[in-house]
Amino acid sequence: MEITNKEIERIEKEGNPNEIWGVKSCKSYKSYLMKRIEQHRKKNNLEVVFILTHLLQAYEHFHKEKDSNYKLELEIINGWKGEGNLEVYRGFDNDFIIKEPIKDKETGDISYTTKQISKDDVNRMVRIIKNLDLNKKYTCYEIGERLGYKEWKDLWRERKVYFKIYYYPVKILEKLRMIKYSGRGDITRIK
């Protein structure tokens, strides 16, 4: 069977043909796949969604061990260390240092950066947590409202503020076993 020029579909794109569409706007392979899945879901291309979802699941399966080695580490400056019954109502007198891993995109090397987290930011979260019911799940939206944000998106949009007043204080309280924090953003007070 001979193929004629009329039977060949030609796809042309503007710009560099060696660049993959949409890659520059994503930070990782996982975020790229998630973006493509959402685009095809909106177009109701369910077969493509099915294939991309399985690729994403395979990626997560093969990369979970590597990612788990780069979790947030925590050290308290001149303060309480170890385990025991820390009184949630008292608050903290010292700032915290967080040691955070950063992976170089080109080499894959891991370096660490440290951030000082103010005791005031952590104590603000402690005041919110102490008013939560024990063993009841609260969403990140509810905690954001208690921080004074009527819309969770407003807090999330301000990334520097989000990490300073929400994420790092929550991770500190999780490390001190005052709360359980799920990957979906649910917070449960356990002390």
For 24-79, the pLDDT digits (tens) are: 777 777 878 888 888 888 888 889 888 888 888 888 777 764 444 455 555 555 44
Q: What is the DSSP letter of 2?
A: P
Q: What's the half-sphere exposure (Cβ side, CA atoms, 13 Å) at 115?
A: 18
**How far apart are alpha carbons 35 and 49 in whole angstroms?**
11
pLDDT, one tens digit per residue, over 103-143 is: 777 887 888 788 888 889 999 999 999 999 999 999 988 99
pTM higher than the cut 0.75: no
* Better pLDDT: 31 or 164: 164
What are the residue boundaries of the structural domains of the chain, listed by start? 16-68, 73-189
Q: What is the DSSP letter of 133?
A: P
180 confidence band (pLDDT: 50, 70, 90)? very high
Residue 144, pLDDT > 90, answer: no
Burial category of 187 from C-beta neighbours within 10 Å (exposed 0-12, middle 13-18, buried 19 and up) = buried
Residue 17, pLDDT > 70, answer: no
Distances (CA, A) of 117 to 80, 166, 169, 189: 15, 11, 8, 21
First vs last C-alpha separation in the chain:
75
